[in-house]
Amino acid sequence: MRRVVVRVALAVVAVSAIGTLWLYDRITALEVEQITGDVHVLFGAGGNVGVLATGAGAVIVDTLTFRSQGVRVRERAEELGRGPVQAVLNTHYHQDHTHGNLGFAAGTRIVAAARTLDYLRHFDAAYWEEGAEEMLPNELVSDVHELSIGSKTVRSFHLGRGHTGGDLVVLFVEDRVLHSGDLLFNGLYPLVDLEGGGSLAAWIETLDRVLELDFDHVIPGHGPVAGREAIEGFQRFLLEVWRVGQAAAAQGLSLDEMLAGASLTSDAGYAPGGLPPFVVFERDDVLRQAWEEATGSVVALDVPTTEAP
């Protein structure tokens, strides 16, 4: 009996060690894909990171989930960008796009929508205490913002609500590459952050404005790099989901009744979104959020507003 107990204990230790190693590898690993001569994307545990080489250093869009990842992103970006980091842009407030900010030097130029700063201070205040507040966005966008660094132009747009109430898209003008943030989950089920100002109805219209921009390639918040057609296909999916939610609300259906009868055709090949296996967004989650918005059962929280200069 004692031998069995010892073997079980050793097995538990081994599994725990393997799990720890797997988690460490998952957190620290970065994959790199080149899109143009001066634009790369870094894939890791969190939202996709865009890196632009400007001739005067690197511009980075989003910073992943942990401070340690932010350090790795900064180091890798300085290699790919052939110089020091000149600016960081955060596409929205969620931690898998912002918590890596702490891996950058104090005084770094950090650009985000004004509403993103509001949400960081309201929903995520504990993370940004005790000195970390200096890595919050310090250059705020109300509609359009432009950086001219080296030979490159970086143009940012807050075109409306969608995934959150503070979504920013970033255009690397000369390279014709758009970083959409989480306004595009490419081939993945998304989150609609209703409490954080998100809206399916608004998201569909916001993507119309995104598609008016001049770009060839898009770095999604999650999923592989794609072209304009990925945004168009994702918009069709959102529209179908929203119509299901609207119809359920009009008929007075409960959430369970709606889920039992819901039929979608635009999500063929979609995989769970989020950060599997820790946080997972699946088909029923998006349908639930559509029902919650259409019935008014979940609404945006009242978060104080900061005006961009």
pLDDT at 24: 54
In a domain, 255, yes or no: yes
Average confidence (pLDDT) per 10 residues, the chain, 309 residues: 39 39 62 98 98 98 98 98 98 98 96 97 94 95 97 98 98 98 98 98 98 98 98 98 98 98 96 91 98 97 77
Residue 245 CA to residue 146 CA, distance in Å, equals: 38
279-281 and 273-275 beta bridge pairing: antiparallel
In a domain, 306, yes or no: no
Which residue segment(s) compose the domain that 87 sits in?
Answer: 27-295
- What's 284's domain CATH number? 3.60.15.10
Decide if 92 contacts 113 (C-beta within 8 A): yes
In a domain, 222, yes or no: yes
Per the rule left: phi > 0, alpha: psi between -120 and 50, beta: everything else, 231 is: alpha
pLDDT at 277: 85
pLDDT at 159: 98
In a domain, 71, yes or no: yes
Q: In total, how many domains does the chain have? A: 1
In a domain, 258, yes or no: yes
Decide if 182 contacts 167 (C-beta within 8 A): yes
In a domain, 168, yes or no: yes
In a domain, 234, yes or no: yes
The residue written with tokens 């069709």 in the block is: 236
In a domain, 309, yes or no: no
pLDDT at 12: 36
